[in-house]
């Protein structure tokens, strides 16, 4: 008998026994699956890819309803019916880190009884710190991966929002004060979790996955890029939507935006007030901006439909006449924009720059989605009481202070304190801190938490595929940066990168979803067809919500057939 790892041999033996049962032995087979679930800890003992790994719990779960959070990117709201499955929680790399904090990498795996021989890694979001639900969201209107038969893993990226929260050091971002936790968050936790999960899959089913996929958006998109660039052997297909592959620079762009918009939000004392940022532009003001954008650029693709499909042609110079036509002749009044409002928008969309005028991150396109709530929530905040402050302050500020600069700055997770800190930043000096190192942090934040390399030679050699959908009105990660990266990749590949990587801009869409856009589409199925049937996706059929009631295909992958960018 050929040699095989003990977990695989034991699981294979169990599978053969189940197959040899008479047809009436379904209950016995089910019992066998439960037994294998309960025995996983013993089966895997001494046979993990990483010896520090162990199972916290392995529990057979009967089919039943599960409610997905509607706020999760790409997740359907409402209950779904989960199948019978084995639910596993595991942990590795337990240690004591900075400030006496107890750190570890924790993961969550669901192994469905009816398996399609596939493995699915679910990307994270924000600052992570949550082990995730291991359901496998695949898109706005499509079934989660576990309902499609995939074994699904999610992970917390090496820190826990409850265990590692420190109010004096950024709250849940306190892990940024620990060099290893920062590295785990950026990239170091990913491969160990993938390898551990695949070992569990092989032990439970008696066979390694036939196909493996990664799907994520935002921070999850960055994680997909880490796999594509650093560990291309892990996955056959990667769906990296709105990738935060330049997170430290994007966080500095958020501080730039705060400095640009906050002077429009002064309180009675003449100082910028967090509570006034959401009303620095009223809904009517942003509607005027939207009118100017559509007047200038809507028809450039040949269809006047409320979507700026040719957004790359929609320049400041082209939009400015419309903005000037909507600018107040004197003081700010209803029905017109102040000169300061127009100037701030232009400065924001031009992107952060040094005092010498050199770009630090990227510029942003003029697109109709900048008038949507999903754009406002990040850049300005929502005016409704209780909706919380602008995310550029509440999330961007604390991330920049704790995670993306060396040395990190201890601040309370108080939005007003973060606003004051962001307002006092010297952009040039802070840009240097993104790539700085120290005795405590031998690797910079840029090294640990970025994945913007155009070198995808490993992915190409493996024969794997990468798809990158991205909203043109994403207020967090600029699609212009993603398109610039794509051109770098394509240049390295002699104009033939579309053979294994394709970018799909979504005009009007905000961060991962929303906006006046055809934001409902099934990119995951397109990826699976590309990987398993060789059907390269030139376009993805998409539909819009009630604000833009139409159905249309996304533009072809960049570059266009003529070789130009959108």
- Assign residue 237 a region (left: φ > 0; alpha: ψ between -120 and 50; beta: otherwise): beta
Task: From the candidates 178, 363, 474, 481, give the one annotated as an active-site residue.
Answer: 474
Active site residue 93: no
Q: Which residues pair with residue 121 across a beta bridge?
A: 153, 214
Q: Are 341 and 264 in contact (CB under 8 A)?
A: yes
Asked if residue 82 has a cis previous peptide bond (ω within 30° of 0), the answer is no
Tokens 């009118």 sit on residue: 291
Cα separations in angstroms, 30 against 26, 36, 86: 6, 10, 11
Contacts of 439 (CB under 8 A, 6+ apart): none
- Assign residue 158 a region (left: φ > 0; alpha: ψ between -120 and 50; beta: otherwise): left
Cα separations in angstroms, 401 against 164, 201, 488: 16, 39, 30
Residue ranges with strand state E in 197-296: 211-217, 237-241
Element (H, E) at 270: none
Q: Where are the alpha helices (DSSP H) in 67-215?
A: 179-183, 190-205
Element (H, E) at 398: helix 396-402
Contacts of 61 (CB under 8 A, 6+ apart): 82, 84, 85, 86, 87, 110
Q: Which residues pair with residue 395 across a beta bridge?
A: none
Distance CA(107)–CA(105), nearest Å, equals 7
Radius of gyration in angstroms for the set of CA atoms belonging to the chain, rounded to a whole number: 24
Report the half-sphere exposure of 202 (CA within 13 A, side-chain side).
Answer: 20
Active site residue 269: no
Active site residue 218: yes
User: CA 124 from chain center: how many Å?
Assistant: 7
Task: From the candidates 218, 368, 402, 478, give the one annotated as an active-site residue.
Answer: 218
Tokens 């394509």 sit on residue: 490
* Residue 280, both tokens: 């620095």
DSSP state of 184: I
Element (H, E) at 121: strand 118-122
Distance CA(297)–CA(113), nearest Å, equals 52
Distance CA(277)–CA(267), nearest Å, equals 10
Show which residues are catalytic. Answer: 218, 474, 511
């Amino acid at each position: 008998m050929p040699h095989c790892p003990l977990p695989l041999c034991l699981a294979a033996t169990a599978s053969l026994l189940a197959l040899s049962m008479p047809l009436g032995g379904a209950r016995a087979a089910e019992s066998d699956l439960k037994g294998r679930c309960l025995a996983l800890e013993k089966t895997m003992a001494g046979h993990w890819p990483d010896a520090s790994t162990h199972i916290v719990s392995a529990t057979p779960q009967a089919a039943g309803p599960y409610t997905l959070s509607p706020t999760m990117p790409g997740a359907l709201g409402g209950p779904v019916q989960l199948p019978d499955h084995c639910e596993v929680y595991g942990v590795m790399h337990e240690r004591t880190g900075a400030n006496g904090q107890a750190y570890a990498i924790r993961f969550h795996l669901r192994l469905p009884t009816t398996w399609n021989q596939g493995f699915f890694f679910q990307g994270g979001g924000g600052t992570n710190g949550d082990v995730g639900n291991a359901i496998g969201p695949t898109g706005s209107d499509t079934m989660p991966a576990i309902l499609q038969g995939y074994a699904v893993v999610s992970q917390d990226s090496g820190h826990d929002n409850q265990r590692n929260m420190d109010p004096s050091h950024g709250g849940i971002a306190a892990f940024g004060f620990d060099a290893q936790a920062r590295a785990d968050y950026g990239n170091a936790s990913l491969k160990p979790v993938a390898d551990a999960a695949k070992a569990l899959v092989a032990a439970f089913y008696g066979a390694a996955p036939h196909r493996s996929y990664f799907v994520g958006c935002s921070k999850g998109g960055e994680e997909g890029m880490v796999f594509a660039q650093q560990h291309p052997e892990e996955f056959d297909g990667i769906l990296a939507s709105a990738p935060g592959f330049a997170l430290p620079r994007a966080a500095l762009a958020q501080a730039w935006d705060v400095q640009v918009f906050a002077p429009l939000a002064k309180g009675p004392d003449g100082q910028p007030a967090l509570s006034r940022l959401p009303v620095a532009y009223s809904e009517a003001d942003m509607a005027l901006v939207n009118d100017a954008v559509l007047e200038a650029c809507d028809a450039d693709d040949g269809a006047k439909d409320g979507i700026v499909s040719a957004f790359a042609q929609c320049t400041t110079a082209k939009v400015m006449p419309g903005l000037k036509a909507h600018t107040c002749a004197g003081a700010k009044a209803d029905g017109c924009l102040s000169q300061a409002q127009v100037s701030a928008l232009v400065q924001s969309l031009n992107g952060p720059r040094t005092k010498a005028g050199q770009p630090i991150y990227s510029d942003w396109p003029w697109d109709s989605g900048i008038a949507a709530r999903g754009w406002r929530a990040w850049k300005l905040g929502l005016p409704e009481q209780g909706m919380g402050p602008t995310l550029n302050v509440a999330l961007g500020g604390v991330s920049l202070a704790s995670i993306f600069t060396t040395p990190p700055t201890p601040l309370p997770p108080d939005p007003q304190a973060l606003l004051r800190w962001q307002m006092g930043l010297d952009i040039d000096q802070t840009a240097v801190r993104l790539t700085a190192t120290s005795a405590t942090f031998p690797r910079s934040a840029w090294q640990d938490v970025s994945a913007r390399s155009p070198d995808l030679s490993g992915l190409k050699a493996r024969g794997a595929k990468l798809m990158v959908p991205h909203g043109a009105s994403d207020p967090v990660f600029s699609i212009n940066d993603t398109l610039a990266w794509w051109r770098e990749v394509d240049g390295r590949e002699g104009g033939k990168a579309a053979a294994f990587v394709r970018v799909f801009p979504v005009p009007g869409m905000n961060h991962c979803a929303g906006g006046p856009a055809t934001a409902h589409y099934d990119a995951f199925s397109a990826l699976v067809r590309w990987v398993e049937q060789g059907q390269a996706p030139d376009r993805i059929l998409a539909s819009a919500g009630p604000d833009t009631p139409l159905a249309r295909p996304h533009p072809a992958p960049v570059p266009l057939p003529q070789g130009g960018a959108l």
